[in-house]
């Protein structure tokens, strides 16, 4: 019993140190931190800028014999040990560049969707494939070191997209299988 408690304590400390190292607690990380920690950076943007950090715990929580990630089971990948943070969380309407840095081990993406009235971020219906509908998508950042749609943002890389947003509530999310269910979403508010 004591050995189990000691192992849990060590695992908790290691997880906190790793999350801190990968930037999970850096909601307001300065631009210089992003530039030094990624292998590419987004070009200078016009209009408002939203910096997004996506992260995961990778294979730390699994043994080497576990199945490969993204097997389509909702919530499996990382078991809630994933996140997506934005800075700022409120911007003025107009042209917006969404810059994404992948501080995790797995590939990720960021989709921009309008939030329906009365719905909060994280409440979309998750389909049997572990993803949510992208109907009405306003933009996507999933091209490693590039703009727009691609095959996912590689670990340590950046991606970006520029969209025009009207006043309202939006949801930024990762739609890789299981990632939304694991907590990879946040709300972005756009003011008039």
131 contact partners, CB below 8 Å, separation of at least 6: 175, 176, 177, 180
Instruction: Tell me which fold the domain 2-191 belongs to.
Output: Immunoglobulin-like (2.60.40)
User: pLDDT tens digit string along 107-141?
Assistant: 999 999 999 999 999 999 999 999 999 999 999 99
Which of 20-24, 40-44, 90-94, 170-174 shows the lowest per-residue confidence on average (mean pLDDT)? 20-24
In the numeric block, the tokens 């025009």 are attached to: 164
Confidence band for 42, pLDDT divided at 50, 70 and 90: confident
* φ, ψ (nearest 5 deg) of residue 44: -60, 135
- Mean pLDDT throughout 62-91? 61
Are the C-beta atoms of residues 177 and 191 closer than 8 Å to each other? no
Q: Where are the beta strands (DSSP E) in the chain?
A: 48-56, 82-87, 90-92, 94-102, 110-114, 139-141, 158-165, 168-173, 185-191
Measured distance CA(150)–CA(5) in Å, rounded: 44
Indicate the average pLDDT of the chain. Answer: 79
Residue 50 has pLDDT above 60, yes or no: yes
In this prediction, residue 28 carries a pLDDT of: 39
Residue 186 has pLDDT above 70, yes or no: yes
pTM above 0.85, yes or no: no
Domain segments of the chain as ranges: 2-191
In this prediction, residue 11 carries a pLDDT of: 52
In this prediction, residue 43 carries a pLDDT of: 78
In this prediction, residue 40 carries a pLDDT of: 85
């Amino acid at each position: 019993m004591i050995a189990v408690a000691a192992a849990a304590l060590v695992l908790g400390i290691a997880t906190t140190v790793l999350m801190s190292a990968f930037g999970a607690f850096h909601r307001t990380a300065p631009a210089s931190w992003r530039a030094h920690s990624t292998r590419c950076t987004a070009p200078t943007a016009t209009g408002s800028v939203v910096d997004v950090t996506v992260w995961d715990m990778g294979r730390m929580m699994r043994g080497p014999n576990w199945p490969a990630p993204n097997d389509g089971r909702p919530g499996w990948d990382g078991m809630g040990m994933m996140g997506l943070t934005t800075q700022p969380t409120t911007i003025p309407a107009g042209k917006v560049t969404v810059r994404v840095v992948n501080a995790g081990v797995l590939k990720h993406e960021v989709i921009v969707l309008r939030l329906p009235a009365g719905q909060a971020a994280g409440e979309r219906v998750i389909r049997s494939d572990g993803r949510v509908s992208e109907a009405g998508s306003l933009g996507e950042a999933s091209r490693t070191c590039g703009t727009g749609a691609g095959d996912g943002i590689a670990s340590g890389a950046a991606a970006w997209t520029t969209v025009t947003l009207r006043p309202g509530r939006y949801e930024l999310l990762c739609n890789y299988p299981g990632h939304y269910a694991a907590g990879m979403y946040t709300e972005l508010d756009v003011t008039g």
